[in-house]
Amino acid sequence: MVALRLSLLLISFITTVRANPVFRNLVVHEARQGIPSGFLSKGPAAADTQLNLRIALVQSDTAGLEAALLDVSNPSSANYGNHLSMDEVETFVRPSVDTVAKVNDWLATNGLQSTTSSPAGDWLSVSMPVKQANELLRADFTVFAHHETGKQAIRTLSYSIPIVLKDTWISSIRPLRTFPNPRKILPVFSSPINSVSNTAVPSSCASVVTPACLQALYGIPTTKATQSSNALGVSGFLNQFANQADLTTFLKNLRPDISSTTTFTLQTLDGGRNPQSPKQAGIEANLDIQYTVGVASGVPVTFISVGDDFQDGNLEGFLDIINFLLGEPNPPQVLTTSYGQDERTISSILAKKVCNAYAQLGARGVSILFASGDGGVSGSQTQSCTTFVPTFPSGCPFMTSVGATTGITPETAADFSSGGFSNIFSRPDYQITAVSTYLIALGGTNLGKFNRTGRGFPDVATQGENVEVVLGGQTETVAGTSCSSPIFASIISLINDQLFASGKSPLGFLNPFLYANPGAFNDITSGNNPGCNTNGFPAKAGWDPVTGLGTPNFDKLKKAAGL
């Protein structure tokens, strides 16, 4: 302890001598009250531990980006479908020359140099040892451990920046006070291996869900898509690998009408891989690939494997993959991700930055879909709680959150389907009518347990229980909203295929279109999502925070899209 204090004093002295006086007055920029539940302090971080920090610079026109996104995504707008180019998006996002110069001046004054880490230059990376970061940012970097998983992270509960940089120049520094999500994956929960007959037909869909069930339930075409410029991206994280041999078995069993050698392409970032040994097949990755290749017949599918060398701190690649796609001239028009975390593990500034990155991709015509989570109202996974736990990124208004249903007579909300209301993002215009109608019908139920002004999620739902997959050559059934996101994404890709064939734009950011067409959904009116010692939210007529607008009716969605 004493030694640490001394070295801090020494640094403090040196810095004061060298610092440009204009950067000397620090103000608290972000702070959180206490340690999030489940984490313990293990004491100060070692002074010489190297920290990789990311600085988010203030964008030139965030409001302009959001307005442009809504303008091209709202079916009643004259600009509907006129998506922006990479350049047009970057014009809104690129920080001013002055902003970049001022931040780099501050860093240089402290002997530090940054590198640009996003295509538009709105993120900078900089490395420094803990002792320097503690001084520079008037922080108290500490080792925190999660008591269940033992996972450790170096964080500070607050940090400061020079008053001259506040708000005008820096919008956030990462990773500082955001806590790692100890259970970031939404693992599909897998039932004991069933021996499932290879000739499952729709009458069996009440107990085992297959692509044929989904085709029958939602009217999904079995004919192959034709457009090679169409692409469906599937995110892979946490060393979850998608196995081609399992996909082949899956297609042989369940899509005998298409070639069993149908494959997917691979893109990697942050050292991502996709090794093919059967032992390395990941249940999440296999599910995601089998229910895209196997449902979006003929649509080119890309598995995007994010490795462990992520540059975005404990977002663990969530931001990297979006920046990666923003840097591509032609990113896939649909991206599905079955990973997420609790919203409370993320600072609101950072959550807004990631959400802004989705807005950038959306403005370029990309539909971004995420599984809503598997803990009902208790978060991404079941946990004890007193107030409801919204998930991330489902609270972001610029993506589409997919919940889960089960059964066929009638199709009912799955009880694990996460849904609720964000504590960070307020309700976007496109869902005001749908959500207020629900809140009126809900009355006083769960009063005080959730944020009545927040963005409501999920937006839509599909089947998510008893879903048949192949893993390591074995057939089994899995459950989770992890099933639902790739299924809904496949439907959107099939509609995009037909849009391209008739010379039209892809659907892009979906929500204004979806909420303008509630009649294109099978309304789910039974079931609920328990958690936090409550029954959670009940599904009701119209939108609800368990199944959103409901499950898709392909033909009606197609008509709504002008086909």
Binding annotation for Ca(2+): 523-524, 542, 544
Quick check: 198 binds ligand NAG (CB under 6 A)?
A: no
Stretch that binds ligand NAG, among 32-40, 249-257, 448-456, 553-561 (CB under 6 A): 448-456
Residues making up the annotated binding site are 523-524, 542, 544
Q: What is the DSSP string of 483-508?
A: HHHHHHHHHHHHHHHHHHHTT-----
- Contact between 433 and ligand NAG by CB under 6 A: the answer reads no
Cis peptide before 458 (omega within 30 of 0): yes
Give how far Cα 307 sits from Cα of 235, 270, 320, Å.
Answer: 11, 5, 10
Among 20, 41, 222, 453, binds ligand NAG (CB under 6 A): 453
Of residues 198 and 426, the one with the C-beta less far from ligand NAG: 426
Considering the complex, what minimum distance in angstroms separates the CB of residue 347 from ligand NAG?
Answer: 13
Token couple for 421: 């209301």
> How many Å apart are CA 238 and CA 425, to the nearest integer?
27
d(CA 562, CA 51): 51
The distance in angstroms from the start CA to the end CA of the chain is 69
Q: Which residues contact 505 (CB under 8 A, 6 or more apart)?
A: 81, 82, 83, 365, 499
Q: Quick one: 167 or 309, whose CB is closer to ligand NAG?
A: 167
**Considering the complex, what minimum distance in angstroms separates the CB of residue 432 from ligand NAG?**
12
Pick 456 or 458: Cβ nearer ligand NAG: 456
Q: Binding to ligand NAG by residue 119, rule CB under 6 A?
A: no
Among 59, 286, 451, 477, indicate the residue that binds ligand NAG (CB under 6 A): 451
For residues 295 and 288, the answer to whether their CB atoms sit within 8 Å is: no
The residue written with tokens 């610092």 in the block is 19
Contact positions with ligand NAG (CB under 6 A) in 54-93: none
**Residues forming a β-bridge with 50:** 129
CB of 454 to ligand NAG, least distance (A): 4
Binding to ligand NAG (CB under 6 A): which residues in 266-325? none
**Whole-number Å distance between alpha carbons of 243 and 247:** 6
Of these, 300, 365, 454, 512, which contacts ligand NAG (CB under 6 A)?
A: 454
Closer CB to ligand NAG, 177 or 558, in the complex = 177
Strands (E), 130-237: 142-146, 152-155, 158-162, 170-174, 189-190, 232-236
Residue labelled with tokens 């909420």: 515
Specify whether 502 is catalytic.
Answer: no
Active site residue 417: no
- Give the containing element (helix H, strand E) for 462: strand 460-463
User: What six digits make up the tokens of 465?
Assistant: 């229980």
Pairing of strands 367-371, 334-337: parallel
Nearer to ligand NAG, 235 or 451 (CB): 451
* Minimum CB distance to ligand NAG, residue 428 (Å): 10
For the window 360-379, what string marks contact with ligand NAG as x by the rule CB under 6 A?
A: --------------------
Calpha distance 39→502 (Å, rounded): 54
CB 29 within 8 A of CB 159: yes
Alpha helices in 37-125 (DSSP H): 62-73, 86-93, 97-109
Q: Which residue is nearest to ligand NAG (CB)?
A: 426
Q: How far is CA 364 from the centre of its chain?
A: 17
Q: Which is nearer to ligand NAG, 79 or 426 (CB)?
A: 426
Residue type, 214: L
Residue 384 annotated in active site: no
Interface region with ligand NAG, contact rule CB under 6 A, candidates 52-60, 432-440, 450-458, 465-473: 450-458
Pairing state between β 301-306 and 265-269: parallel
Q: Which is nearer to ligand NAG, 15 or 387 (CB)?
A: 387
Among 380, 401, 482, 484, the one annotated catalytic = 482
**Considering only 36-44, 66-74, 315-323, 446-454, which stretch makes contact with ligand NAG by CB under 6 A?**
446-454
Minimum Å distance from CB 451 to ligand NAG?
A: 4
426 near ligand NAG, rule: CB under 6 A: yes
- Provide the token pair at 260: 């069993």
Catalytic residue among 122, 135, 246, 284: 284
Number of residues that bind ligand NAG (CB under 6 A): 5
Q: Which of 240, 423, 462, 534 is close enough to bind ligand NAG by CB under 6 A?
A: 423
Distance CA(486)–CA(545), nearest Å, equals 20
Catalytic residue among 246, 288, 411, 476: 288
Closest to ligand NAG by CB, 397 or 506: 397
Residues that bind ligand NAG (CB under 6 A): 423, 426, 451, 453-454
Residues with active-site annotation: 284, 288, 482
